Amino acid sequence: MNTKTIDFSKFSSIRIGPVVEVALIENDIVPKDHLIIGSANNVLISPTPPPLMILSKEYDYIRLDEDGLHIGAAIPGGRVVSFCKKNNIAHFEYLSKLPGTLGGMIKMNAGLKEFEIFNHLIAIRTISGWIPKEKIQYGYRKTSIDEVIFEAVFDAEAGYSVERYEMFAQMRSNQPHDPSAGSCFKNPPGDYAGRLIEAVGLKGEHIGAMAFSNVHANFLVNTGGGVYQDALTLIHLAQERVKAQFDIDLQCEIVLIDQKL
């Protein structure tokens, strides 16, 4: 089994994590008892993670076949958008603003407002073969997928839209620029996690170099050299205060990766 050395304090979007020897998935061989990582845009990795694995370059492809658009799970969203622009394919414009690989996006059912990756998904391919969308449970930022996604096939409708592309760029213009893993918590039904964090007085709250952003309270940002434990303490603090004040259980959207969890 080939491996790759990854320094997660540089590789992950939140710039936290140890240097780890990560197993490479090649020829559809999935090492046992390893956790899959995409491009680490939605994860917070502790100093003691379980064994990790990552897809090799073999899974970095995109092609138009008769049954739809086939995309390897290691491909970043931006490359999907470039391909769709060139081939006039609709519905993927929003991926230009979502950092991550296709595998991570499908596992998280990533999206922007009503535009979600499952909307135009036909099937995924895992070690169990092709699994149609109808056999997968999915909802807001969650799916029932518990295997490594190798590839997926999507509807390939004509109609790439420059207007939609620009609309998504506009939606993103107010995001914090400090390193983060995107939204820290899922929005609870009928409310916004950012509003609740602000209401309990934690907007801009710092512990060490970690903070709930002053720009958008639901972004847990690393202002430089932040550490896992401080991020976790802030997460627990927000959950406790929001529970005490509003009786709402804030659920993490960030995936916590720790051997001890």
Catalytic residues: 141, 183, 253
Hey, which residues between 122 and 151 contact ligand FAD (CB under 6 A)? 141, 145, 148-149
Q: How far apart are CA 104 and CA 124, in angstroms?
A: 13
The answer to whether residue 152 forms part of the interface with ligand FAD (CB under 6 A) is no
Q: How far apart are CA 145 and CA 215, in angstroms?
A: 33
Find out whether 150 and 122 touch, Cβ atoms under 8 Å: no
The answer to whether residue 105 forms part of the interface with ligand FAD (CB under 6 A) is yes
The answer to whether residue 38 forms part of the interface with ligand FAD (CB under 6 A) is yes
The answer to whether residue 110 forms part of the interface with ligand FAD (CB under 6 A) is yes
Residues forming beta bridges with residue 158, ordered by sequence position? 89
The distance of closest approach from Cβ of residue 242 to ligand FAD in the complex, given in angstroms and rounded to an integer, is: 21
Cβ nearer to ligand FAD, comparing 37 with 121:
37
Which residues, 6+ apart, have CB-to-CB distance to 179 below 8 Å?
Answer: 13, 14, 15, 221, 222
The answer to whether residue 73 forms part of the interface with ligand FAD (CB under 6 A) is yes
The answer to whether residue 17 forms part of the interface with ligand FAD (CB under 6 A) is no
CA distances (Å), origin 104, targets 65, 109, 110, 168, 224: 23, 8, 8, 20, 25
With CB under 6 A, what is the number of residues at the site for ligand FAD? Answer: 33
The answer to whether residue 252 forms part of the interface with ligand FAD (CB under 6 A) is no
The answer to whether residue 39 forms part of the interface with ligand FAD (CB under 6 A) is yes
The distance of closest approach from Cβ of residue 254 to ligand FAD in the complex, given in angstroms and rounded to an integer, is: 8
Q: Which H or E run contains 207?
A: strand 206-207
Which residues, 6+ apart, have CB-to-CB distance to 7 below 8 Å?
Answer: 17, 18, 19
The answer to whether residue 121 forms part of the interface with ligand FAD (CB under 6 A) is no
Binding site for ligand FAD (CB under 6 A): 13, 35-43, 55, 73, 98-101, 103-105, 107-108, 110-112, 141, 145, 148-149, 175, 180-182, 255
